[in-house]
Amino acid sequence: MTLGFDGKMMKIKPCKMAGSHKTGYLKGITATQIQMRLDMFPNIDDDPAKVKKSWGFKAYNPNPFRCGIWDYKGSDNFNYYSTYGPTEIFEKLFGDIAEVG
């Protein structure tokens, strides 16, 4: 379980897919903050020439949604991460500590 910034609990479970394409972003956040909020280490082996850290998970809100977060070609150096999944999920998880788009 993970506490969203809105004070509501959201169940987060790791999965082995980060996402097929970018649907949004997180800006102004570090890998450590992502890891702490999701309560999980990066868990996806991705293209090492392009991606260093990648998280794949299902967020239950209350129904399950497959979600992913990853850096792309050094974007982590600028605290910028690509996302896959509903924007509302990322707003609930990270809206208090990052720009969500």
Which pLDDT score is estimated for 6?
58
- The token pair at 85 is 């999944």
- Tens digit of pLDDT for each residue in 5-36? 555 678 999 998 878 889 999 999 999 999 99
The DSSP secondary structure of 16-52, one letter per residue, reads S---SS--EEEES--HHHHHHHHTS-------TTT-S
Binned at pLDDT 50, 70 and 90, residue 45 comes out as confident
The predicted pLDDT at position 17 comes to 83
Is the predicted pLDDT of residue 4 greater than 70, yes or no? no
